[in-house]
Structure 1
Amino acid sequence: MLLAKRFASLMLALALAAPVAASDYLVRPGDTLRVEVVEDPSMNRNALVTPDGRVHLPFVGGVTAGGRSVDQIRAAVTAALADDFAVGPTVFVGLASVAPSVAARSGPVPEETLSVFVMGEVVSPGRIEVEPGTTVLQVLATVGGFSEFAATKRLQLRRANGGEAAVYALNYHAFERGQSADGQLPVADGDTLIVPTRRLFE
């Protein structure tokens, strides 16, 4: 009986300690956040923290996430949405996944891989590691394709060229019809592929 009580006390202590540890975690680029708004479920999504430390959400735009706790991010999203609701929105923010570290990877690691960020309306947004020569279409296939809200005619590939960022406009429908070869464009290390949310009548 005494052993059972000690075990129960230990489990309770661990359960109480877990939220504290999570709240102390500071989000970093490559992490994926789960954002939910009770009053508007259409806004619920997984959002990638881009290399500049921001997450991008509909009706909100970019919110600084890097270096902040999930509670601080939740407060920032709530404040940004406040004017769009008659009563303050109920927002939940949690960690869907953390950016992989080299030390945490299991199995054989290729001699050279590229880090590519995919954000917006895809099935599995986040940071992925691909081999050199991987194309835009192959990246889209790796993340599971588009969500039902994807604006597939307005894809963006953002690439850092030296100190400046280049933005390439891509049209998936043109890829499908064979009117554009941009889908065969090889990605580069640090590229960010953005799939925007479809507009109302798009």
Structure 2
Amino acid sequence: MKPFFAFLAALLIAPLMGQPAEAQSSYRIKPGDVVRVEVLEDSSINRNALVLPDGQISLPLAGTVRAGGRTVDQVRADIASKLAPNFANAPTVFVALNNLAPESMGAGGAAPVTNTIYILGEVGQPGLVQLERGTTLLQALAAVGGFSKFAATKRIQLRRVENNRERIYNINYEDILMGKTSIGTTVLSAGDVIIVPQRKLFE
């Protein structure tokens, strides 16, 4: 199985954005990139992981893993180390670049007309999205297909860095619908992170 897995990994890496394997092996991952993680022994861990503004990614069993500033090999080794206690033998882990973060400047060095927003969790299309400046929280949620049936809509979070400190705004979607709060009209800023957690049992 392992030789086949290595062959599959090579097929996935080679065509990525036309970059040779050597370039990818030395590339330093940055926030906004998306990495593909595959674990041969447990396919439930396999996923595309968005690198958050703090450089972290999150994976089942492994928890939080620092990806920003590292190569794919360094991230792979860290994931394998964190997963090891959950397996009888050392797990076979593959990590590759899936997408690169969009350029932060527009044509000719002008300020971008869009903002990069991160929307995670129980929404139709989670991940990094480019939205026009002036887009509100509700408009952003609509842009990614709304909520999944497992969404805990009473526990939405908006995470924003202000004055070098992260602030967390807790949002209840039902309160927005009932007109109890106007937070749904909050205009999003570049780098904002919206998290829609999974609903708990009986929630």
* TM-score normalised by L of structure 1: 0.73
Superposition CA RMSD, Å: 3.1
Give the structure 2 partner of residue 3 of structure 1: none
> Retained in 1: the 8 A contact 2:156–2:194?
yes
> Retained in 1: the 8 A contact 2:34–2:100?
yes
Give the structure 1 partner of residue 120 of structure 2: 119
Partner SS for 1:71? helix
2:92 corresponds to which of 82, 90, 105: 90
Of structures 1 and 2, the larger Rg is shown by 1
In 1, the alpha carbon distance for the partners of 2:144 and 2:25 equals 28
Partner SS for 1:75? helix
> Retained in 1: the 8 A contact 2:104–2:112?
no
State the AA in 1 paired with 2:78: A
Give the structure 2 partner of residue 167 of structure 1: 168
The count of residues paired between Structure 1 and Structure 2 equals 185
Change (3 A) 1:55 1:161: same
> Retained in 2: the 8 A contact 1:31–1:126?
no
Partner SS for 2:20? helix
In 2, the alpha carbon distance for the partners of 1:157 and 1:51 equals 13
Give the structure 2 partner of residue 132 of structure 1: 133
Give the structure 1 partner of residue 52 of structure 2: 50
CA distances 1:35-86 after superposition (whole Å, capped 9, x unpaired):
2333333322222111111112233332110111112111111111212223
In 1, the alpha carbon distance for the partners of 2:59 and 2:23 equals 26
Change (3 A) 1:120 1:87: farther
Partner SS for 1:55? strand
Change (3 A) 1:120 1:163: same
Comparing 110-119 with 52-61, which one deviates more in the overlay?
110-119
In 1, the alpha carbon distance for the partners of 2:145 and 2:134 equals 19
* TM-score normalised by L of structure 2: 0.73
Give the structure 2 partner of residue 190 of structure 1: 191
Change (3 A) 1:49 1:58: same
Give the structure 1 partner of residue 26 of structure 2: 24
What fraction of aligned residue pairs are identical, expressed as a percent? 49
In 2, the alpha carbon distance for the partners of 1:24 and 1:159 equals 31
Note the residue ranges of structure 2 that are not aligned, 5 or more in a row. Answer: 1-13
